[in-house]
Structure 1
Amino acid sequence: MNTLIILAHPNEDSFNHAICNEVKEHLTKKNYEVKIRDLYKLKFDPVLTEDNHTEFYQTKLPSDILAEQNEIAWAENLVFIFPTWWCGMPAILKGYIDRVFTNGFAFRFGKSEVDGLLKGKRAIILQTASQTEEFMKPSQLVSSMETSMDVGIFDYCGINVITHKFLFSVPHVDKETREKMLKEIVGVIEII
């Protein structure tokens, strides 16, 4: 199965990169075709300019956006890996979604509703956090991020989010706990 990993963390020594490597290694062993779009390594420009906003039609897209859309079109599975920054995704990933998930590619406005054009694609979201689960869940931070991403972005575009996994307290746990988290990730990606 064609699987595209979209990674949004600037530090190559980060736990997010370790997750990415684990996912790629595991899926490759299952004979999946895996590609990685490391947004920081690509130096992806997340800024949606006025020209982009008013002129983004499928016939007028910049080459960098067409390249990303081709990668998403190729994929059956999408795996998003990123840290939680200010109760959301990093700006580079939000800008990626703003610029790549365009009208006519990811969705289309109808007369009375929106048609998600990426139906049939599945997504797994792997999101790290520095805060504890005990802090984030009662504060509704987890559910608000799940709703915003899973429903407000991906469901809107027709993508089926299989799971949205949070990994809590990442900077504050020991190596053994991180190893357990990586094993959990393998269990999560088994469903694709």
Structure 2
Amino acid sequence: MNVLIVYTHPNHKSLCDAFLQEIISACEQNNNIQEWKVVDLYQEDFNPVLVFNERKRRRDMHTDPDYENYRQQIIWADKIVFIYPIWWGRPPAMLLGYFDQVFAANFAYRAKGKYLAEGLLEGKTAVCISTMKGPAYYPLFLLNNAHKMLMKKAVLNFAGIKKVKFFEFGSMELPNGNQQQKLKKIYSYFKRLQH
């Protein structure tokens, strides 16, 4: 199994980075994982701004050479892991810009009839690991689970990735947020991961 880790946090002293390090350690110990790669969108200075003009046409995004490396990483991966904080009830703009540009029509999906689309990334699975300052129930009760709906339904399922697992960790800035227990949970999950 090939695992692609898309890391989206500007601070490498963050809890998101601690989750990243646990996943890397677990991948190294898991015989089911042949290879793993990390894409650090902030470190790579990924430009999340979507541009359409005479030179960059929307219909050609699936062949845009600026994103060929990212498309090849998606093709290579069996499992895609997204690590990010929840800001304003949603993932960072950096990650949303990644989806805007990499998950393009005729790469991640294609039109099927007038109103339907066909996901082209079938067979892949995803894991979403998110942290937030607020309590874990906040997105569910106050935001109608908007974050999960966005990631699962509007992006990943739409692109054909039907199996999506979520780890949402709230109250992460509190001293008693059980951070070590949650890090162990992620390590254990990835160490036993089979696909």
Q: What TM-score, normalized to structure 1? A: 0.91
Cα RMSD for the two superposed structures: 1.7
Separation (CA, whole Å) in 1 of partners of 2:154 and 2:137: 25
Which of 77-86 and 48-57 deviates more? 48-57
Separation (CA, whole Å) in 1 of partners of 2:154 and 2:8: 19
Letter in 2 for 1:92: M
Separation (CA, whole Å) in 2 of partners of 1:162 and 1:110: 23
* 1:6-85 equivalent positions in 2, closer than 5 A: 6-31=6-31, 32=33, 33-51=35-53, 52=56, 54-59=58-63, 61-63=64-66, 65-85=67-87
Using CA pairs below 8 Å that are at least 6 residues apart, which structure has the higher relative contact order? 2
Q: Does 1:115 align with 2:113?
A: no
Separation (CA, whole Å) in 2 of partners of 1:57 and 1:82: 25
- Displacement of 1:55 in angstroms is 4.5
What is the aligned length?
188
Change (3 A) 1:57 1:50: closer
Q: Which secondary structure state, in structure 2, belongs to the residue aligned with residue 138 of structure 1?
A: helix
List gaps (5 residues or longer) in structure 1: none
Letter in 2 for 1:181: K
Q: Which secondary structure state, in structure 1, belongs to the residue aligned with residue 58 of structure 2?
A: helix
Whether contact under 8 Å (2:77, 2:124) holds in the other structure is yes
Q: Does 1:155 align with 2:161?
A: no
- Displacement of 1:89 in angstroms is 0.5
Change (3 A) 1:86 1:107: same
List gaps (5 residues or longer) in structure 2: none
Moved over 3 A (4+): 187-192
Q: What TM-score, normalized to structure 2? A: 0.90
Separation (CA, whole Å) in 1 of partners of 2:8 and 2:61: 26
Identity between Structure 1 and Structure 2 (%): 30
Superimposed CA distance per residue, residues 117-137 of structure 1 (whole angstroms, 9 cap, x where no aligned partner): 000000000011110124443
